[in-house]
Amino acid sequence: MGDAEVVAEAQAIAYRLDPHAVVERRSRAERERRVTLRPAPDVMSQLSALLPVKDGVAVYAVLTREADRLRAAGDVRSRGQIMADTLVGRILGSDAATGATPGVMINLVLSDHVLGGRSDDPGHVEGYGPVPADLGRELAGTTGAWLRRLYATPETGRLVAMDSRARLMPDKLSQLIRLRDQRCRTPWCDAPIRPTDHIEPVAEGGETSETNGQGPCEACNYAKQAPGWQARPNPGPRHHVETTTPTGHHYPSTAPPLIRPRFIETHPGVWTLIA
């Protein structure tokens, strides 16, 4: 028996021994269906979907059928390439030949030196992370894509500040904070940002501003409401938050630079910033 046959036989035996447990686990698993995105090597991304079996099998069958049809018609792309392009095209409504993706907003942080070809420093794409300069310039010139270019100071990589008088974080300010923080600001938590929240609560005089805003994950946003938790923004070259736990421990959190400054050693032990 091969590995797949062993797994299938084990699942069949488990079902015969306790069919009710299998039904219950399947129902719970279907409620946890989701789509995730992870960075992959060589500036690729791994898009995964955990789906009920009928949906997963049906989606895969549609992609393979389309790949077989196009290959039979003389398409020179590989079967895997056609399946990937078909998936992207049907979700985004894009043209596989041109790569155009109407209505899709790409948040790209890129310095003007990189955009003009005078520097090969990496840029930053929201939801992915650092990207090479050549890909940043390619995204900036993509036909049909909506591009929002954000600029940062070369010394610190800090984005332009925004303030508001609103009680809740406005959409644009929230987007700026998510771009700045990238991941949950709680130390050692690498979960995606869900809400954008005030560091100092409004009820305690906290402002609705970039300085007093942070991007926690959903779990950390709830946890910091418990008694004994406290957070305060501290001044610095980049956004800095000091969190105090109920045990009295203090943990610093500094927003990562989106555009990392470059330094060269001009003399032994002397490093100079290259703009």
Residue pair 73/115 in contact by the 8 Å Cβ criterion: no
Q: What is the pTM of this model?
A: 0.52
pLDDT at 25: 87
* Strand, helix or coil for residue 15: helix
Q: pLDDT tens per residue, the chain (275 residues)? A: 888 889 989 988 988 899 898 888 888 999 999 999 988 888 899 999 999 989 999 999 999 999 999 999 999 999 999 999 999 988 887 654 445 555 566 777 777 777 777 778 888 887 788 888 888 888 776 645 555 555 555 555 555 444 445 567 878 788 888 888 888 998 888 888 988 889 988 888 888 888 899 999 999 988 888 899 999 998 777 889 999 999 999 999 988 876 655 656 666 766 665 54
Instruction: Report which residue type is found at 266.
Output: T
pLDDT at 158: 57
Per-residue pLDDT reduced to its tens digit, 20-34: 988 888 889 999 999
Q: How far is CA 83 from CA 4, 55, 63, in A?
A: 24, 16, 5
pLDDT at 161: 44
Helix (H), strand (E) at residue 252: strand 250-254
pLDDT at 97: 44
pLDDT at 148: 58
pLDDT at 59: 94
Strands, E assignment, 76-145: 105-109, 123-125, 129-131
